[in-house]
Structure 1
Amino acid sequence: MRSILANKKVETKDRQWLRSAEVRQMLGISAGTLQNLRINGTLPYQKIGGTMYYRSEDIETMMKGRAGHG
């Protein structure tokens, strides 16, 4: 089971665009927290059809910025 999860992490890390569920799992946040990040402009996104996508680069930038605020 661990090898499956490890492979999944590698897959998301190598992709440029991630879906909401992947971002929530990666950051360990709720859907509401992710919505707040969208609303206040902390995490840019693109909506295609009914699905929201987030750039891996934007997530990394946000996390680096938040690391300095603790």
Structure 2
Amino acid sequence: MNERKKNDQRPAYRKPSFTKPNKRQEVEKKFYDNADMMQLFNVCSRTLQRWRDEGIIPFKRVGGRIYYLASKVDRMMEEEDETEDEQ
């Protein structure tokens, strides 16, 4: 009997934890790395470096790699759209 059938026949309280939704998975945040950002904005890595230096885009450095929180990047883009609409 394969694992899926075996798990489906178990009572809910006996199912392995990987079949239940995990709270951490629900709150999962999406991050962009440099390659994603370069493709998203169609810019080179040097432009991203300049934007980081000037504080234009928020970022986090983890173990020598740079990540951008997708929600902050999206919010930044929306704010930029709003300022362009006002002009």
Q: Which TM bucket (shorter chain)?
A: 0.5 to 0.7
- What is the number of equivalent residue pairs in this alignment? 57
Unaligned 5+ runs, structure 2: 1-28
* C-alpha distance after superposition, 1:9-54 (max 9, x if no partner): xxxxxx6111111111011111121112111111111111111000
2:58 is aligned with 1:44 = yes
Larger relative CO (CA 8 A, sep 6+): 1 or 2? 1
Q: For residue 5 of structure 1, what is the aligned residue in structure 2?
A: none
Paired letter, 1:27 = F
CA distance, structure 1, for counterparts of residue 50 and residue 79 of structure 2: 17
TM score, norm. by length of structure 2: 0.56
2:25 is aligned with 1:20 = no
2:67 is aligned with 1:53 = yes
Unaligned 5+ runs, structure 1: 1-14
TM score, norm. by length of structure 1: 0.67
Larger radius of gyration: 2
Identity percentage of aligned residues? 25
Paired letter, 2:65 = T
Q: For residue 4 of structure 1, what is the aligned residue in structure 2?
A: none
Secondary structure in 1 aligned to 2:77? Answer: helix
Q: For residue 80 of structure 2, what is the aligned residue in structure 1?
A: 66
Paired letter, 2:47 = T
